[in-house]
Structure 1
Amino acid sequence: MAAVEGREEHIRLAGIMKGLHADLRKKFKKCKDAKDFEQIWKEHCGDTETLRQYADAMHHLATDHWTKLPETRIDWCRKTILEYFHGGGLKKALDKVSRRIQVHKAKKLERERSDQLRNETDEQTDGSLDCSSDQVCYDVTANNRLRVSKEVSETHTGLSTTKITTDIGVPVRGKLRLLDVGSCYNPFAAYEEFMSIGLDISPANSTVHQCDFLHLELTDPDPIALSKEDSFDNLPDKISQLPRQSFHVVVFSLLLEYLPSADQRWTCCCNAYHLLAGNGLLVIVTPDSHKQHRNAAMIKSWRQAIESIGFVRWRYVKLDHIHCLAFRKLHTGEVRDKEVGPASSDMLYIPQDFHDDDHEDAEVVRHSGTESDNENNSRTFEELPIFWDSDNSN
């Protein structure tokens, strides 16, 4: 009986969340222009009662139900972050970058020698890699601290001014500065490895700061302040701005699918890029109850879009009900293995973007059906409150 009641409560709480998602998407699909778009989001962020109910539902699901799983989404994030920064992941990535730079230097030298012979001149060249004050290319594998240098203007992500950059080298010492966006209850604060800052438009408790991440103001970094352990201890309850390149990790756990438009998901990823130091990690968890191949095209599209902003994928895992992705931010002047293809915000789509209103309404109310349908839905709800399609066909 207790198990049945627990499942019913789980489904009730999940229904609150699914209902808000469907209602928000429906409103956005009726937008005629950007002004309407902004007004609907502003009204959504101001609907404190609806957001409070959503935050309470999410909090109860996360703390009363999902913690019973052998490995939760938070467990996966923590394990992946620690492996990257302290388990050799970052060092291997930087060793690979160092080898790539050497290949780049060798190819440049070969081209210069070829040009020299072709032009039949006596000009000498040392074959070194051209590094201006605006683009610094170096091997960061031996760094023992955050290295400060000039960063290239990032016109591809909306900022066009040259600014100070802090690139993360190895070994990484001290607590990892982690920004958990859409945090609800700041679960990473329970781990001593992290200096965790939770942001949400509707916090579930006082440890989370209220913030509309889509409209966050990005300020200049202060490397001196960032060298202190207490650099973020005195943040206000409501945050409207944060310094660029100040975090080791940004986490989007069940965030991107909450947003009703691909443009908003793109903005979130661009903001994450600016807030991360070079070699920082963007961790994304998004729900999907189907097998890996079902939405493989979507994940491939996400990868191309996110990498075009200035990331490279470091890890991808498909678990039973979620996709788990981790992207490393390129450090200053880094040379890629290969060019990333053209990308745009609409590549950060989710299946619900293509559902019509009738389908959305059916998704919210659908708790009856065949015994097989109900069993499939119950298994899904044991992990996540939301999923991309109600059937489990593959």
Structure 2
Amino acid sequence: MFSVRRPSPCSERLRVLDVGSCYDPFSRYPDLDVTALDLHPATETVHQCDFLNLKVETNESSSQLSASNTVAMTNEASDNTVLQDITPQTPQIDQDSLDEPNKVERHEARVGAITSLPAMSFNVVIFCLFLEYIPVAEQRLRCCKIATELLKPEGILVIITPDSKYEGHNNFLYKAWQVALAELGLARIKYQKKEHFHGMVFRKGLCRQVWQQDSQRMLNEIQEKMTA
């Protein structure tokens, strides 16, 4: 989808949250430790999850959960700050969902539903052909806010949405995305337009206030162009 150079081998796999995963396509890559979510999973490796209602656990609230369903987090802001391994078994599991026949109709070995995840626990959150299924703008922004809370500092949010128009046709829309997500502390670092989709990559900054100031600057530029 994106033309990127393959990074040098690293000691740890990137922790990836694939939202709206459907059939878990990113788990095929060995460098990625993928947690796949979908409201209606297509494979047994995908967790059932209503992302709009997902609870993001902070350090304080996570400490109240059982040890088997939590991930220990450090508070040191350094390059060595790490989380213990996040496996498909570590998020909070709604055990009742395993007993409901409609949840296991398509697969006998359905994994549990996820109702919460720890804050700052992923290097990458992916919204691939996901947001266009959410009809309300406020809900789409809420999804991005949840993703921001789940990202580690300097983690990235990847958004891929359909767009069959010629390049530049929806520039105003893409600029609006940039402004809105800057308010959340996300800076757009890459944009690519293909024939039938466009992709954007946003990085979570270390200082949210900086990107909020940049958001206001971009908004002023848009308003000036509209009134010119």
Determine which of 192, 206, 213 is the counterpart of 1:331.
206
Compared with structure 1, are the counterparts of its residues 291 and 188 closer, same or farther at alpha carbon in structure 2 (3 Å cutoff)?
Answer: same
CA distance in 2, matches of 1:232, 1:301: 35
CA distance in 1, matches of 2:39, 2:73: 28
> Which one has a larger percent strand, Structure 1 or Structure 2?
2
> Which one has a larger percent helix, Structure 1 or Structure 2?
1
Shift of 1:332: 4.6
Partner residue in 1 for 2:96: none
Partner residue in 1 for 2:15: 177
| Runs of 4+, deviation exceeding 4 Å | 332-338
The one-letter amino acid of 1:228's match is: Q
Indicate the SS of the match to 2:135. coil
CA distance in 2, matches of 1:255, 1:275: 17
The one-letter amino acid of 1:247's match is: F
The one-letter amino acid of 2:38's match is: D
State the Cα deviation string for residues 310-341 of structure 1 (Å, max 9, x = none): 11111000011111100000025785596211
Partner residue in 2 for 1:281: 156
Task: Within 5 Å, give how 1:48-127 maps onto structure 2.
Answer: 73=1, 76=2, 80=4, 86=7
Shift of 1:184: 0.3
State the Cα deviation string for residues 179-214 of structure 1 (Å, max 9, x = none): 000000111100001000110000001110000000
Partner residue in 2 for 1:209: 47
Return the TM-score normalized by structure 2.
Answer: 0.72
Q: Give unmatched runs, 5+ long, in structure 1.
A: 1-72, 88-170, 345-394
Number of aligned residue pairs: 181
Tell me, yes or no, if the aligned pair for 1:259 and 1:265 is still in contact at 8 Å. yes
CA distance in 1, matches of 2:129, 2:208: 32
CA distance in 2, matches of 1:332, 1:313: 15
The one-letter amino acid of 1:197's match is: T
Indicate the SS of the match to 1:273. helix
Partner residue in 1 for 2:182: 307
Shift of 1:233: 3.8
Q: Give unmatched runs, 5+ long, in structure 2.
A: 60-71, 75-80, 94-111, 220-228
Partner residue in 1 for 2:129: 254
Partner residue in 1 for 2:194: 319
Q: Which moved more, 1:327-336 or 1:238-247?
A: 327-336
Indicate the SS of the match to 1:291. coil
Compared with structure 1, are the counterparts of its residues 296 and 246 closer, same or farther at alpha carbon in structure 2 (3 Å cutoff)?
Answer: same
Tell me, yes or no, if the aligned pair for 1:244 and 1:276 is still in contact at 8 Å. yes
CA distance in 2, matches of 1:206, 1:223: 28
Partner residue in 1 for 2:101: none
Tell me, yes or no, if the aligned pair for 2:119 and 2:149 is still in contact at 8 Å. yes
Shift of 1:172: 6.1
Return the TM-score normalized by structure 1.
Answer: 0.43
Determine which of 72, 81, 84 is the counterpart of 1:228.
84
Indicate the SS of the match to 1:302. helix
Tell me, yes or no, if the aligned pair for 2:183 and 2:212 is still in contact at 8 Å. no
Indicate the SS of the match to 1:248. strand
Structure 2 residue 133 is matched with structure 1 residue 295: no
Instruction: Please say which structure displays the higher CA radius of gyration.
Output: 1
Tell me, yes or no, if the aligned pair for 1:308 and 1:342 is still in contact at 8 Å. no
Shift of 1:294: 1.3
CA distance in 2, matches of 1:279, 1:211: 25
Tell me, yes or no, if the aligned pair for 1:278 and 1:332 is still in contact at 8 Å. no
Tell me, yes or no, if the aligned pair for 1:313 and 1:327 is still in contact at 8 Å. yes
